[in-house]
Structure 1
Amino acid sequence: MDRIILHCDLNCFYASVEMLSHEDLRKIPVAVCGDPASRHGIILAKNEPAKKLGVQTAETIWQAKKKCPDLVLLPPHHDLYRQYSRMVNAIYEQYTDLVEPFGIDESWLDVTGSIHLFGGDPKALADKLRERVKREMGLTLSVGVSFNKVFAKLGSDYKKPDATTVISRENWKQLVWPLPVGDLLFVGGAAQKLLHQYGIDTIGALAACRQDMLSSLMGKMGLQLHEYANGLDREPVRSRENREPVKSIGNGTTFPENLTTAEQVHNSIAVLADSVASRLRHAGLYACGIHVTVRDPEFHDRSRQKQLSSPTCLIRDLAAAATELVFALWKPPFPVRMLTVTAIHLLPAEDAYEQMNLFTAALAPNREKQEKLESAMERIRGKYGTGAICFGTTQLENEEDPLA
């Protein structure tokens, strides 16, 4: 028996949420964007009138304004978007316990085991969900209905806004194979360019490729994409209790002005490491590795990663490792536009034991004190706000005793 998978995609989500409190702007071009003064000046979302004028997500504000001089720009309200996302997913969970969010505005639903409770017609259920979200939330959905996750997502993208598309066993080749290969899940810009060099521009052409050719070009990913193109995706919809473990936790920032000195870069790494360590503790995870990315004003990225000597969630350890990697990639006064620090190879706290030796055993009490200190900082921040307390960068530099 085939599965029945729905992919629900909230249309123009950020902009649609903003329109709920800006009814007067609903019929004119509007975009939600980052702060131009902080150089986060890209389009995060746009409404339908802006979309019709060619405004695209992720393009710069000046590019969007060139297409649409009268474009109204609104700042983002991420807490509000998360709130609406939770409310919409709560509606989905009334129809199945197998709901898997894919970003803040998309979710897969596996209704195979519950469809009989709602009339037995997958398209009718998708239409009911669209009507209910519109009535209760004021937001519109596009829904794809299919027998696997990849085709369900293709269905939600096939017709927008506020539409249901069914990709079935009977029609999937007619609907899917003529589509551009870039429409397939996980075929990004680089993969698209590579495939184009070999005349593979549609999903059908990808499906017809020899597997050994794709394997030599793209490794395991090539074989996976070949399965997707041939309707062979078997990936389950994962419930809240059965999510894949978190593989990395990172934080990056684009600076209002380029960094050019060692002190500026060092201080920025310390702030990013603080954020990453906090998120690790909240998730109950320890990092066994660190990854950094340095971006210059021409948007060229350089990255490096390393294994840590022992699992950690300490600001000091993360900052020290990240600093070592960044300064191996960068030398002042070369300008830095953006930095990213990411904790990788994560372990649950109960598995993050450390193999002691004669030299590391002496440092264990200090590590324990540091963990207690950082946990106390988290409690203060939870009560008084994230800016209530932070480490000085000089303390992060003190490797022998972080409490000195």
Structure 2
Amino acid sequence: MNHEPRTILHIDMNSYFASVEQQANPRLRGKPIGVTGGDREQRTVLATASIEAKKLGVKTGMSLWEARKVCPQIIIVKSCHDKYLSTTTKLLNIFKDYSPYFEVFSIDEVFLELPDRSGSCRSSFPSSVLGLPAGAAKGTLFRVTPRYLLAVAVAYEIKHRIKSEIGEVVTCSIGISYNKLMAKLAGSLKKPDGLVIIPNRTEAIKVLDSVELDDICGIGPAIKKRLFNLGITNFFQLRQVLKQCLLSSFKSYGETLYNMARGVDNTPILPFYEREEVKSVGHRHTLDRNTSDPNEIRQILLKISEMVAERLRHKNLVGKTIHFWYRDVNMAGFGMQKTLAHYSFDGLEIFASAWEIFQTIWDGGQVRMVGTSVSNIKPSRPINLSFLPEDKRKEKILQALDKVNNKFGDFTLHRATLIGTNSVSRKPNPFLSDRRFKI
């Protein structure tokens, strides 16, 4: 194992969707805005809130009515995913100038590992990063050690280029540390437009003991609750627990928790071009109103099954494990999966399995959201999945269906059973499974 010191930057765009909207529309600048994926007052939640809105108490994930209650003057902007994807592509083209080792963590977060700081590597950086801007050390939360001088220079150069090439409203917070875990934590300590260094494990322990358990990436509500049930409420207490005890309670994840409490993380940077292929394709839809009408649920499920199937065909994939889930009015989730005897990219087959699962697990109560996905997938080559005449005919029909809809719009041509169904929106995956970037 390579034990050479690493230098990793975590770059997190501040209120990303909102700042992109403010950059595109000067009339929104300096005002509290919320970006949402739809216009259904009682259903839609905020994808993000602007910095101004957050200062007034608005939080990402709030429903529209909650946001308006907290901030009556908030301006709601409908999301434009093509705009965000385009901006992210420009950002990635900036980041790649500083290292080939960068990992796209989400649409607005990137890990970047700087290469060896020898003279040959230094010469590959833009000349402007070889000297710190005036006051740079003063702007960081921790003292800049010689080891991190180049990293801080790179961070300031990236911030400058974002302002000049993307826009002055779009900002980022950057964390610098010796591994991904601590770089991400560092980046969260000062927002917006912050720059924080956690230079070593000694400083990391101090920071860990000052934050909450779920401030660390990897400890969510479920893990936090289990730790609390064990009497562990902070990282100091977590460090007192023997590794064997954590392994007993959390299985293999116990070792991860043991290392987290000590600021240890050996996970490598996974470059964008080496990301694993998509493992599942799915879609979920929140109904316009709660319903217990099986016919209404059936039509919506058929429609999203067709959407999932079209995405599989577009990616030249087939799958055989169908997963269906739904949420009731209390936001409780229920789901189950079924594996087919063969691979498929046919919406009717996906629907048939999903509908069978729904009928098995549904208790007859009100339904708020439904979703289905296909996993256990592989490339659909050879194109003809079967040599049977009826299967070849069905495949040709699906190809013709996709050709028409790709040219004239989704569901221009569709099955008769979908006539009169409500609109179901399709948006790009914000976590990049569609891999739409060209850099």
Q: TM-score, normalised by structure 2?
A: 0.82
- Residues 3-402 of structure 1: matches in 2 within 5 Å? 3-37=6-40, 39-113=42-116, 116=122, 117-118=124-125, 119=130, 121-138=150-167, 139-169=170-200, 171-330=203-362, 332=364, 334-350=365-381, 364-393=388-417
- After the TM superposition, which of the residue ranges 1-10 and 363-372 deviates more from structure 2? 363-372
Cα distance in 2, alignment partners of residues 124 and 232 from structure 1: 25
Q: Conserved in 2, the CA contact under 8 Å of 1:38 and 1:256?
A: no
SS at match of 1:199: coil
* Secondary structure, counterpart of 2:47 in structure 1: strand
**Alpha-carbon distance in 2 for matches of 1:123, 1:176:** 22
Q: Is the 8 A contact 1:46 1:56 kept in 2?
A: yes
Distance 2:110 2:382 in 1: 31
Post-superposition CA distance 1:13-37 (Å, at most 9, x none): 0110111133233223221124342
Q: Deviation per CA, 1:137-168: give whole Å up to 9, x if none.
A: 12101111122222111121111111111122
Deviations 1:35-56 (A, max 9, x none): 3426432121111121112211
Identity across matched positions, percent:
29
Could you say what the CA RMSD is over the residues aligned between the two structures, in angstroms? Answer: 2.4
- Contact 1:141-1:161 at 8 Å conserved across structures: yes
Secondary structure at 2:193 match in 1: coil
Q: Which amino acid aligns with 2:9?
A: L
Query: 1:331 Cα shift?
Result: 5.1
Q: Contact between 1:181 and 1:206, CA under 8 Å: does it hold in 2?
A: no
Output one character per residue of 1:174-227: Cα deviation in whole Å (capped at 9) or x when no partner: 223322110111211121122122232223433442222222332222322322
Q: Which residue identity does 1:184 align to in structure 2?
A: I
CA distance in 1, matches of 2:374, 2:303: 14
Is the 8 Å Cα contact of residues 38 and 254 (structure 1) preserved in structure 2?
no
Paired amino acid for 2:150: D
The alignment partner of 2:115 has SS state of: coil
The 10-residue stretch of structure 1 (268-277 or 118-127) with the greater mean CA deviation from structure 2: 118-127
The 3-state SS of whatever aligns with 1:306 is strand
Aligned length: 387
Range that drifts further, 255-264 or 289-298: 255-264
CA contact (8 A) 1:39 1:255 kept: no
Q: Which amino acid aligns with 2:391?
A: R
Distance in 1 between the 2:37 and 2:312 partners? Answer: 26
Give the aligned residue type for 2:224.
Q
Measure, in 2, the Cα distance between the counterparts of 1:84 and 1:147. 28
The runs of at least 4 consecutive aligned structure 1 residues that moved more than 4 Å come to 350-354
Report deviation, 1:307.
1.5
CA contact (8 A) 1:293 1:304 kept: yes
Deviations 1:255-287 (A, max 9, x none): 112232222121111111111112222223221
Give the secondary-structure state (helix, strand or coil) at the position aligned to 1:40. coil
Q: 1:382 deviation in Å?
A: 2.0
After superposition, the Cα gap between the structure-2 partners of 1:98 and 1:381, relative to the gap in structure 1 and judged at 3 Å, is farther
Query: Distance in 1 between the 2:306 and 2:391 partners?
Result: 16
Give TM-score, length-normalised by structure 1: 0.88
Assess if the C-alpha contact under 8 Å between 2:98 and 2:154 holds in 1. no
Question: 1:38, 1:52 → 2: CA distance?
Answer: 23
CA–CA distance in structure 2, aligned partners of residues 379 and 369 of structure 1: 15
Gaps of 5+ in 2: 131-148, 420-439
Give, in angstroms, the shift of residue 75 of structure 1.
Answer: 1.6
SS at 2:10 equivalent: strand
Q: Secondary structure at the match of 2:354?
A: helix
Give me the whole-angstrom Cα distance separating, in 2, the residues matched to 1:297 and 1:284. 37
Equivalent AA in structure 2 for residue 346 of structure 1: I
Which secondary structure state, in structure 2, belongs to the residue aligned with residue 20 of structure 1?
A: helix
Deviates more, 1:363-372 or 1:173-182: 363-372
1:378 partner amino acid: D
Q: Is the 8 A contact 1:184 1:203 kept in 2?
A: no
Give the drift of 1:289: 0.6
Unaligned runs of 5+ residues in structure 1 are 355-360, 396-404
